Structure 1
């Protein structure tokens, strides 16, 4: 994946997070904000290491979420919604 395409993906995901702020229910905002925190951290790490690879970003996101869920940061229903939102972002 090119740097340009990677940056475009990041911009699209961030726009979706912004849209949730404007239009989402309180719960959708919670799920989106939670995912956004992980996303921002993993994107920053990818950019710092010049890794413009969506597969590696997805892997880093999955590892980050798995670790957070293992620490019981969210209830299982919320975990499923966070995972579903991430998969939706990837499929765009």
Structure 2
């Protein structure tokens, strides 16, 4: 397994999780999932543009930084933060 393939499995598993939530999630969870997916996709895109191999840990670090900044900027209510964090914790448990 190359350095690039491991995060690709994580990225694919994350996309599957996001897609699986659509028919099952509450409106609040759908918002949180979509919001988190935006941060996740931005982090992955930023790492891909660098054209260097990256790891699952780097994706997680990038998303954590992005979410912390968004929360510091007041983008989420406390309840939305809880929904986002719940989904984010679940996502991080996915095997790479």
Q: Distance in 2 between matches of 1:51 and 1:31?
A: 29
Matches within 5 A, 1:43-62: 43-49=44-50, 50-62=52-64
Runs of 4+ residues over 6 Å off in structure 1: none
**Structure 2 unmatched runs, 5+:** none
Higher helix proportion, which one?
1
Say which of 84, 90, 93 aligns to 1:82. 84
Offset of 1:6 from its aligned partner?
0.8
Contact 2:28 / 2:83 at 8 angstroms: preserved in 1?
Answer: no
Q: Distance in 2 between matches of 1:11 and 1:68?
A: 24
1:14-37 per-residue CA deviation (whole Å, 9 max, x = no partner) reads 111111122222111111001000
Match of 1:68 in 2: 70
**Structure 1 unmatched runs, 5+:** none
Contact 2:18 / 2:33 at 8 angstroms: preserved in 1?
Answer: yes
Count of aligned residue pairs for this structure pair: 92
Q: Distance in 2 between matches of 1:25 and 1:51?
A: 36
Match of 2:4 in 1: 3
